[in-house]
Amino acid sequence: QSVLTQPPSVSGAPGQRVIISCTGSSSNVGAGYDVHWYQQLPGTVPKVLIYGNTNRPSGVPDRFSGSKSGTSASLVITGLQAEDEADYYCQSYDSSLSGVLFGGGTKLTVL
Amino acid sequence: EVQLVESGGGLVNPAGSLRLSCAASGFTFSSYTMNWVRQAPGKGLEWVSSISSASSYIYYADSVKGRFTISRDNAKNSLYLQMNSLRAEDTGVYYCARDFAVAGPWGQGTLVTVSS
C-alpha cells in the first residue's frame, strides 16, 4: 500500500477543471521533500508533467499545474482535453523509508 | 538529445538471475543520480533503487533489498541492475531514469518476465 495516497479515479468533461490529490505524511511531503507528477498514456513511458512541486518541463502545456501545502500536493488540469485521459502518479522521497515513493496512481477519464 | 536505453530484459526462471543495463547519452552522466523504477503488468509505478553520481550513496526498496544490486560505470555512461533470486512478483517493465529532481528523462523500459 502506497504511503502517498491518490484517488483511484477522477473524471471530467472536456473543458472542465480536475484536481488530483496526493496525500502524504510528516516523513515525506510534510517534511518538505519535493513532489513530482507523471502522466502515463496507455502503453507509453511515464512522462514528467511537474517537477519540484510546481515546475513544468518545456513542452508541457500550462493547463497543467502543481501545488503543495502541508502534507499534501495537488495536480490541477484545466481546460480538460480528450488526450489528457491517462494515469497520473505523484512521487516524493520518504525519510523514514530512506527511499522514493510513488502514489498508487489516478486514472483520469474524460467524459 | 538526452537519451536512456535499457537492455538485458527477458524470460528467466524463478530463483534465476538477470543483469539490466542502461546506456546514457546526450548529458554528463557522471553528474547525476540515477534510478531504476519498475511497473508490474497492469499495476502502478514502483521505485526499485537509486545510486548517486559517484556511487557514494545507494538505496533500495525493501522488496528488492539483498537480492538486487545497482551499480554504474561513469566511464562507459552506463547504469546497471544485477537481479538475483528473482521471483514471479519481480515481473514487469524496468525503467532507468535520470535524477527525479531534474525532470528525467526515463528510458523506454525493458521487460523482465519471471516464470517457469
Grid coordinates representing A87 are: 494515469
pLDDT band at A13 (very low <50, low <70, confident <90, very high): very high
Report the candidate in B93, B69, B109, B88 with the shortest Cα–Cα distance to residue B13. Answer: B88
Could you tell me what percent of chain B has a pLDDT over 70?
A: 100
Q: Which chain A residue has its CA at the smallest distance from B35's CA? A: A100
Instruction: Check: CB of residue B20 under 8 Å from CB of residue B8.
Output: yes
A87 chain-B contacts, CB cut-off 8 A: 44
At residue A2, does pLDDT exceed 80? Answer: no
Could you tell me what percent of chain A has a pLDDT over 90?
A: 94
Cβ neighbours around A32 below 10 Å, total: 12
B50 chain-A contacts, CB cut-off 8 A: 99-100
Positive or negative: CA dihedral A110, A78, A37, B30: positive
At residue A77, does pLDDT exceed 80? Answer: yes
What whole-number distance in Å separates Cα of residue A87 and Cα of residue B114?
Answer: 25
What whole-number distance in Å separates Cα of residue B49 and Cα of residue B15?
Answer: 20
Give pLDDT tens digits for A20-46: 999 999 999 999 999 999 999 999 999
Give pLDDT tens digits for B54-112: 999 999 999 999 999 999 999 999 999 999 999 999 999 999 999 988 888 999 999 99
At residue A111, does pLDDT exceed 60? Answer: yes
Tell me whether residues A103 and B44 touch, CB distance under 8 A. Answer: yes
pLDDT band at A1 (very low <50, low <70, confident <90, very high): low
Secondary structure (3-state) at B111? strand
Instruction: Check: CB of residue B114 under 8 Å from CB of residue B48.
Output: no
pLDDT at B104: 82
Tell me whether residues A89 and B104 touch, CB distance under 8 A. Answer: no
Check if B100 contacts A (Cβ < 8 Å): yes
pLDDT at A27: 94
Under DSSP, the state recorded for A5 is: B
At residue B41, does pLDDT exceed 60? Answer: yes
